[in-house]
Structure 1
Amino acid sequence: MSNRQHPFARIPLALALGGALQAGAADELRLDDSAREALGVTIYNEDLALVRDLRRVELAAGENRIAWRNVSAEIRPETALLSAPEGGGTLRLLEQNFDYDLLTPESLLQKYVGREIEVVRTDAEGERTRERARVLAANGGVVLRYDDRIETEVVGHLIYPDVPTDLRDQPTLVLHLETEEAGERALELSYLSGGLSWRADYVAELDPEHKGRMTLNAWVTLDNRSGVAYRDARLQLVAGELNQVRERVRAMKSIRFGVDMAEAAMPAREQLDAYHLYTLPRRTDLLNNQTKQVALFAAEAIPVERLLVLNGRQLGARNDDGWSRLPVRTTLSFVNDAAGPDMPLPRGVIRVYAQDSGGQAQFVGEDTIDHTPTDQRVTLTLGESFDVTARRRQTDLERIGDDTVELGFELELANARDTATTVEVRERISGDWRMLDESADHTKAAADLAVWRLEVPAEGRTTLTWRVRIER
């Protein structure tokens, strides 16, 4: 049905922050969660969600004031959009206000500055006395004027005649509508909200029988700090980086290890423009100040490569003899293809576990991955090797001309293990360079990267030397 037939089908809301309708609460029609027919929440990675809230309301002919209660306290009012998906007659939006000044003892007292209240005191015998006073100030305390004095401390308790109409017990959107026809209507409010986020958390377990394989379980971690609960909601998750004018990133909690996944609970995935959309298979409750975890996928027998890596240009503590100790990093890599997860991997943390001799899972390191499409290699840096160490020194520097130098280096690898191991040495070389001499063949992995793979014998040492000419 076209917008021409139903002019209220899509109306952007320009909300007046903190405003309140002049009419009293008695003139309002309270639209609570009980009027809700459907709720959908699409959550993005960076503290952002799209809320779609469909409620049914009985409208009278003429003007109607609707208090749409329990909207997100982190709503971005300028993004709000109202629609009448079923049509049903002409509706005109006259005014709307987002009331986020919530009812608390402090806010109630501040609203009564300049007005009279009653102070009730009870003496030792239980006798109660009432005395009227005017609130002069309520900033960091209270100042009360009685008929014969001014006091800055309340002895007793305060009684207020009423609750001001511009104080709400929960965040409320107040709509002032006009319609020519009375009747029941379905209205959907959509808006962007902060306070909601999600991320992927991965648990990898190395196969104790096959060292070159692992299992990988992926979990979705949802976090709700928007000030309201979303009950019986259809949840969808978008993986990808959206450009936002205002961004706030909230830290997420990690998940526990060792939870089995139910295949039927896996979210459905589809392409959404430049992003990936995951739809949870069933409706769920996402309460305020709650972290919820949902299974994303499980993959078994993923081929992995375990490798020690040395970045040669890292700065280390140099000894008097010119040697610098460099860390040797333990890495784990796999390809996101048909032999692995074979699905887009949302950004998150992969935590890796290995079994000890008693069969107990032990944590061996973690690393963050970015959004990773299929057929891409994922490399995780888990920590620093204890038994394999390295030291490096510059052995020569010769200037050939104003823009050309020749450099010589020596790298020594020591292996305290009782088995041989392989170390990949990665040397960044800036400028136009050419290798003049080397004790082992290198691979030019990139324009500025020379890579050697060296075998280090058990309880032994291996030395790599090279000389390179660089033109700058």
Structure 2
Amino acid sequence: MPIRHRNVLSIAIATLCTIPSVWAADGASMTLYRSDSPALYASSGDSDANDGYAVVRERRDVTLQSGVHDLVLGDLPNHLDAEAMALGFPGGEAKVISQRLLLGQGPNAALTGLTGSSINVLGDNGQALASGTLLRAGEDGLVVSTDHGTTLVRQYAAVTTAGGNFPTGSSLRLRVDASRSGQADATLSYPTSGIGWRASYVANLQAGNACSMQFESRASIANRSGRDWHDTNLTLIAGEPNFAKTSAPRPMMMRAAAAPVAAEALPEQSTVGDYRSYTLPAPVELPDGSISQVPLYAARTLSCERTALYENGGNWMPPQPMLNETFNTDSNTSIISTLRFSAFDSLPAGYLRVLTADRNGVPQFIGEGRINDTPKGSDATITLGTAFDLRGKRERTSFHVDKAGRALDEAFRITLTNAGDSARTVTVREHPNRWRQWTVTSSSVKPSKQTTDTLEFKVEVPANGKAVLDYAVRYTWTADEQPQS
């Protein structure tokens, strides 16, 4: 396979030794951390991304020469933390003196990946310009070590390799001191970005009066690292480790279509420090520019709760009683549809897509929301969207301040309308936050929930009709808390 290039021809001769190049072996072990970066999961745009975080451990079979000499480790990802890269020789055959990272980016990215390889450089008419080992690829041309010395080629049409294979990604040039010549096993570990994962959930709501759903859990693995990963042993980490270096790879549909990965067995779940880990049961293929999916948990049916929520105000509490008449008089008209369920196991953060069948039995998308890291037994709630047939209106019906008695009385009327053909239950959530001491003095519907900053009512709204909720609260405070103005 040739690489095409256009430049001006110039040849220079010098003396430089050949640098053996070592390509990646299949079967790397990778620990992959969660990332929500849009750049990783986008269906268009630059195929390269400097988001996500993974720690890779792989074996390299190297050919050593006795004494000090140079090696090139190729087929590395595009984005690496050079300070955290480590090459070791378990048998003690050699030690690393220095290292230099050659980034596989820019116009010479593919050629940089060939550093240390045997290549043939061809001209416009297919004539051979140079054959030997590629020492460097830069804007000034190709530096090639030949049998006659070193050649600098500035104008060429194509580059071929003996195997017809162009490794992707970056390369690492190492100076090593070996105690003997011969083959040796080396272990290379490094953190990289351009690859990440997040949970992906799908819920199919079931027919019937009770809320239940068929729940599927997957891990979406995005690879934009600049290299392919073959037969990779993968462990996924759920949680949020701290990353101190802003310049290092960070955790935050591709050129290739999303690639589902079949797996009969499920990941083995465990703990790592304060985080959860999911070790996949079999090696996976992660082509560059792809999204792969693997199951996290077996599909199951879960109970759930659908809520139509009409909410006004917030949880903010003033430093002293708020006596301003215009405070907290805002009113919206939208009623929000939400879905809540209890986590059957530890659920890593990700996005939940919710479907329901239409009148013809065809599943239709009705909303999507983010689930944060959710421990087993905790509730997860997402917003599906705005209910089309439901509306709300909030009006204040009375307001009175008694400074001498250190009390404030306030009342509201909430009108709910339902244009649909079936009755609906609407949860009205109010936030009495003029002051922390308050009580409900009257309500046309009994509160279903009451906390220090929240008041909730469940109101039945008939089909093609409306319902009205009236309620009043009284705030009180002490002499020491009395506002001065």
Q: Are the counterparts in 2 of residues 74 and 194 from structure 1 also a CA contact under 8 Å?
A: yes
Give 1:251 shift: 9.3
What residue in structure 2 maps to residue 400 of structure 1?
402
**How far, CA to CA, are the matches of 1:301 and 1:101 in structure 2?**
47
Give 1:234 shift: 0.9
What residue in structure 2 maps to residue 152 of structure 1?
none
What residue in structure 2 maps to residue 334 of structure 1?
341
Residue type of the alignment partner of 2:29: G
What residue in structure 2 maps to residue 264 of structure 1?
264
Give 1:383 shift: 1.1
Deviates more, 1:98-107 or 1:376-385: 98-107
Tell me the TM-score normalised to structure 1 length.
0.73
Q: Are the counterparts in 2 of residues 37 and 56 from structure 1 also a CA contact under 8 Å?
A: no
- SS of 2:20's equivalent in the other structure is strand
Q: Are 1:81 and 2:81 matched, yes or no?
A: no
What residue in structure 2 maps to residue 144 of structure 1?
none
Q: Are the counterparts in 1 of residues 168 and 227 from structure 2 also a CA contact under 8 Å?
A: no
Q: Are the counterparts in 1 of residues 68 and 176 from structure 2 also a CA contact under 8 Å?
A: yes
Q: Structure 1 stretches of 5 or more lacking a match?
A: 1-22, 109-119, 123-137, 142-156, 163-167, 315-321, 337-341
What residue in structure 2 maps to residue 97 of structure 1?
100
Q: How does 1:97-136 map to 2 (within 5 A)?
A: 97-100=100-103, 104=107
- SS of 1:78's equivalent in the other structure is helix
**How far, CA to CA, are the matches of 1:329 and 1:455 in structure 2?**
16
Identity of paired residues, percent?
29
What residue in structure 2 maps to residue 115 of structure 1?
none
Give 1:24 shift: 7.4
**How far, CA to CA, are the matches of 1:191 and 1:249 in structure 2?**
15
What residue in structure 1 maps to residue 231 of structure 2?
232
Superposed CA deviations along residues 383-422 of structure 1, whole A, max 9, x for unmatched, are: 1112221111112222222875322111011223333221
What residue in structure 2 maps to residue 291 of structure 1?
291
**How far, CA to CA, are the matches of 1:80 and 1:179 in structure 2?**
19
**How far, CA to CA, are the matches of 1:416 and 1:369 in structure 2?**
31
**How far, CA to CA, are the matches of 1:323 and 1:190 in structure 2?**
57
What residue in structure 2 maps to residue 440 of structure 1?
445
What residue in structure 2 maps to residue 352 of structure 1?
354
**How far, CA to CA, are the matches of 2:109 and 2:186 in structure 1?**
34
What residue in structure 2 maps to residue 201 of structure 1?
200
Return closer, same or farther for 1:300/1:180 CA change in 2, 3 Å cut-off. Answer: closer
What residue in structure 2 maps to residue 17 of structure 1?
none
Q: Are 1:468 and 2:456 matched, yes or no?
A: no
Q: Are 1:178 and 2:177 matched, yes or no?
A: yes
What residue in structure 2 maps to residue 40 of structure 1?
29
The equivalent position to 1:410 in structure 2, one of 408, 413, 420, is: 413
Give 1:252 shift: 8.8
What residue in structure 2 maps to residue 133 of structure 1?
none
Q: Structure 2 stretches of 5 or more lacking a match?
A: 1-13, 36-51, 112-122, 126-137, 141-153, 160-166, 315-328
Query: How many residue pairs get matched?
Result: 384
Q: Which has the higher contact order (CA 8 A, sep 6+)?
A: 2
Give 1:83 shift: 2.5
Deviates more, 1:91-100 or 1:402-411: 402-411
- SS of 2:264's equivalent in the other structure is helix
**How far, CA to CA, are the matches of 1:395 and 1:250 in structure 2?**
48
Superposed CA deviations along residues 351-389 of structure 1, whole A, max 9, x for unmatched, are: 111111211111111111101110011122111112221
Superposed CA deviations along residues 322-377 of structure 1, whole A, max 9, x for unmatched, are: 994421111221111xxxxx221111111111111211111111111101110011
**How far, CA to CA, are the matches of 1:31 and 1:401 in structure 2?**
83
**How far, CA to CA, are the matches of 1:180 and 1:205 in structure 2?**
63
Q: Are the counterparts in 1 of residues 168 and 226 from structure 2 also a CA contact under 8 Å?
A: no
Superposed CA deviations along residues 435-454 of structure 1, whole A, max 9, x for unmatched, are: 22222222454321111112
Q: Are 1:380 and 2:371 matched, yes or no?
A: no
- SS of 2:28's equivalent in the other structure is strand
Q: Are the counterparts in 1 of residues 30 and 57 from structure 2 also a CA contact under 8 Å?
A: yes
Q: Are 1:421 and 2:417 matched, yes or no?
A: no
- SS of 1:374's equivalent in the other structure is coil
What residue in structure 1 maps to residue 323 of structure 2?
none
Tell me the TM-score normalised to structure 2 length.
0.71
Return closer, same or farther for 1:103/1:463 CA change in 2, 3 Å cut-off. Answer: closer
Superposed CA deviations along residues 48-103 of structure 1, whole A, max 9, x for unmatched, are: 11111111223222113110111111011111122333x244x3321111112668
What residue in structure 2 maps to residue 51 of structure 1?
56
Deviates more, 1:244-253 or 1:223-232: 244-253
Superposed CA deviations along residues 99-156 of structure 1, whole A, max 9, x for unmatched, are: 1266846999xxxxxxxxxxx999xxxxxxxxxxxxxxx99x9xxxxxxxxxxxxxxx
**How far, CA to CA, are the matches of 2:445 and 2:279 in structure 1?**
52
Give 1:264 shift: 1.6
Give 1:193 shift: 0.7
**How far, CA to CA, are the matches of 1:106 and 1:83 in structure 2?**
27
CA RMSD of aligned residues (A): 3.5
Give 1:297 shift: 2.1
Return closer, same or farther for 1:188/1:210 CA change in 2, 3 Å cut-off. Answer: farther
- SS of 1:27's equivalent in the other structure is coil
The equivalent position to 2:77 in structure 1, one of 59, 72, 80, is: 72
**How far, CA to CA, are the matches of 1:101 and 1:280 in structure 2?**
29
Give 1:248 shift: 5.1
Return closer, same or farther for 1:304/1:329 CA change in 2, 3 Å cut-off. Answer: same
Superposed CA deviations along residues 273-308 of structure 1, whole A, max 9, x for unmatched, are: 111111122112211111112222233221111221
